[in-house]
Amino acid sequence: MDCCVQLAFDNINMPEAEGGLRGYGVDHVAVAEGLGCKAIRVTDPKDIGSAFARAAELMREHRVPVVVECILERVINIAMGAEIDKIVEFEPIEDRAVESAEPAEMLD
């Protein structure tokens, strides 16, 4: 059986300026902020480290959880119950190390 889970939809409230994410679906930044948290959206892998550094600053300043949403490719074939080595990627995956602080350092 071909099982496909589609989470994307045309969210008319998603900011178009942020990389054309209107069809991405749920605006997790808005949801997190609506629940009293702070949130950061990352669309470029090179910005992940600085986003986590900013998240640590926001945690210290506001004393609330901070959600860092990393936008990934939209299309991926993940059949229900498939092993991780059976996932079919439709776009090339760039595998590179991300320089960031250790989690314990971020909370100090």
Q: Residue 49: how many CA atoms within 13 Å on its side-chain side?
A: 8
pLDDT, tens digit, 9 for 90 and up, residues 94-105: 666 666 555 555
Residue recorded with tokens 């609506």: 34
Greater pLDDT, 63 or 70: 63
Give residues with Cβ within 8 angstroms of 4, minimum separation 6.
77
DSSP one-letter code for 38: E
- pLDDT tens for 10-45 read 777 776 655 566 667 788 899 999 999 999 999 888
For residue 56, pLDDT over 90 is answered with yes
Residue 26 confidence (pLDDT): 82
User: What pLDDT is stored for residue 91 in this prediction?
Assistant: 62
